[in-house]
Amino acid sequence: MVTIKCDSCGAVKPTDLTRPGREWILGYDLEIESPWRLQRSVRFLDRWDDRRVLELGSIHFCSEDCKEDYVARSRAA
C-alpha cells in the first residue's frame, strides 16, 4: 500500500474511500538539465488522478494553502 503525504506540511492522505474528505492537489515539479542551462517547471493538474501519483516528479498537496506555500518556497530557491 502506498502512503501519500503532503509535500508541504506532511499530512497523510486518507485511504478510506467511504469518507469524503477535502480534495487533494496533484502536480509535477520537474527539472530539465542541459549543458547550457537548468530549467524548472511546476505544473498542477485540474483534478486528482490516482493512476499518476507515483510518476516521476509528482507532488501532492492537502490544500490550496500548502500548494501556495510550496510555490512561494520554490520561487525563493
Q: Is the per-residue pLDDT at 6 higher than 70? A: yes
Cell of 48: 486528482
- % of the chain residues with pLDDT over 90: 61
Residue that has been written with the C-alpha cell 490550496 in this structure? 64
Neighbours of 45 (CB within 10 A): 12
pLDDT value of position 17:
64
Angle at 26 between CA 22 and CA 27, to 5 degrees: 150
pLDDT of residue 18 exceeding 70, the answer is no
C-alpha cell at 61: 498537496
Model pLDDT for residues 28-61, shown as the tens digit of each residue:
999 888 888 888 889 999 999 999 999 999 999 9
Q: According to the model, what pLDDT value does residue 2 have?
A: 85
Domain borders along the chain are 1-77
| Measured distance CA(9)–CA(21) in Å, rounded | 17
